[in-house]
Amino acid sequence: MIAYILRRALYALPILLGVNVITFVLFFMVNTPDDMARMNLGVKHVTQEAIDKWKAERGYDKPLLYNAARQGARKLTDTIFFDKSVGMFAFDFGRADDGRDIAREIRHRMGPSLAIALPVFAVGLAVNITFALVMVFFRASYLDFVGVVLCVAMMSISGLFYIIAGQYLVSKLWHLVPISGFADGLDAFKFLVLPVAIGVVSGIGAGARWYRTLFLEEMSRDYVRTARAKGLSEAAVLFRHVLQNALIPILTGAVVVIPLLFMGSLITESFFGIPGLGSYTIDAINAQDFAVVRAMVFLGSFLYIVGLVLTDISYTLVDPRIRLE
């Protein structure tokens, strides 16, 4: 397995490099270093001299990808792309354009993001699987039909609607929890109840319907008939046999997102005042802060690769036939 992980890690390098190049090209197609300087220096009283100084200080006064004025390898290394990329592979994200340390910012903001994302993920997974198994248990009955209709209806509603309606009813009309805010430690509980509940409820429609499909496929297998013939209860059949055998597709969808959970959710965090990472990338794009954009895109792609490797590893845990070689 170690050889497999090492091989995947080596595969990851060109992928990360490619992501970095694409991010770089896309960003500088839209923004020039002069634009970035103007955005940072403000719109009033900005002089070209100040812009040039700002660029020089941050290394944005070099050519983007190719420096014809240099000799040998420096034609490629004395460029904005090289300067800004090489540190990333050592996870040295450097400073944002406003001078603040990016790694520190990420560390500081990932906790609140996880405080919402982890419970939504864990509780949502449990609720969706349970709800799907209940529908499967009552398959082809009116309960199953109602459940499917409910799922379709729930997945058709925008996530924003759940948030606004939830805040309106629970916080504004009934005064049960704060509308928005955050606190450290156990005090965070009252702020997290509503966003977590909304996160779980808004995901039930799509999640439960997807798992129902998986479970129904498993229900027609011979081992289910055998289990029943042995006299197992329906609960044991569903939760012990069907669930276990349907784990591969479940893990495919679930494990890959685990590393990305700390990246947060833009809308949920904005509406509930959660000081997480959800808006960090979008704020950086709006502020034309390339340092943050490249760091977050790099991190996102790195974590996605980690997620894929973890998914592969998880297969070996649930299916002994699978070997990673």
Partner 1 sequence: MISASLSFRFLLLGALPFLLSACDGTAWNNPYPAAEAGKNILYTAFTGRPKHLDPAQSYTEDEAAFTAQVYQPPLQYHYLKRPYALIPFAATEVPRPRYFDAAGHALSPAADPAAVAYSVYDIHIRPGIRYQPHPAFALDAGGKPRYLDLSPAALAQIDTLADFKETGTRELTAADYVYQIKRLAHPHLHSPIFGLMSQYIVGLKDYAATLEQADKAKSGSWLDLRAYPLEGARAVDRYTYQVKVKGKYPQFQYWLAMPFFAPIPWEADRFYSQPGLAEKNISLDWYPVGTGPYMLSENDPNRRMVLTRNPNYGGETYPTEGEPGDRAAGLLADAGKPLPFIDKVVFTLEKETIPYWNKFLQGYYDASGISSDNFDQAVQISGGEARLTEDMEKQGIQLRTSVATSDMYMGFNMLDPTVGGYTDKARKLRQAISIAVDFEEFISIFANGRGIAAQGPIPPGIFGYRGGRDGVNPYVYDWVDGKPARKSIAYAKQLLAEAGYPGGRDAATGKPLLVYLDTTASGLGSKSRVDWLQKQFQKIDVQLVVRATDWNRFQDKIRKGNAQLFFFGWNADYPDPENFLFLLYGPHSRTKGEGENAANYDNPEYDRLFERMKNMDNGPERQALIDQMVRILRRDAPWIFGYHPKDFVLAHAWTFNRKPNQMANNALKYQRIDPALRERMRAQWNRPVLWPLLLTLLALAAAVAPAWRAYRRHEKETAR
Enumerate binding residues for partner 1 (CB under 8 A). Answer: 30-32, 35, 38, 40-42, 44-50, 53-54, 57, 95, 98-101, 104, 108-109, 112, 134, 137-138, 143, 164, 167-169, 171-183, 187, 189-191, 193, 233-235, 270-273, 275-276, 279, 283, 288
Minimum CB–partner distance for residue 18 and partner 1 (Å): 25
3-state helix, strand, coil in the chain (%, to 5): 75, 0, 25
22 vs 169 by CB, closer to partner 1: 169
CA 316 to chain centre: 24
Measured distance CA(38)–CA(45) in Å, rounded: 10
119 Cβ contact partners less than 8 Å away, ≥ 6 residues apart: 192, 196, 199, 200
Tokens of 50: 């100040």
Minimum CB–partner distance for residue 4 and partner 1 (Å): 37
Minimum CB–partner distance for residue 282 and partner 1 (Å): 11
171 vs 252 by CB, closer to partner 1: 171
44 vs 321 by CB, closer to partner 1: 44
Neighbours of 320 (CB within 10 A): 7
2 vs 30 by CB, closer to partner 1: 30
Minimum CB–partner distance for residue 311 and partner 1 (Å): 31
Minimum CB–partner distance for residue 251 and partner 1 (Å): 27
Provide the total of helices (H) and of strands (E) in the chain, helices listed first: 16, 0
115 vs 256 by CB, closer to partner 1: 115
Neighbours of 238 (CB within 10 A): 24
238 Cβ contact partners less than 8 Å away, ≥ 6 residues apart: 133, 136, 137, 215
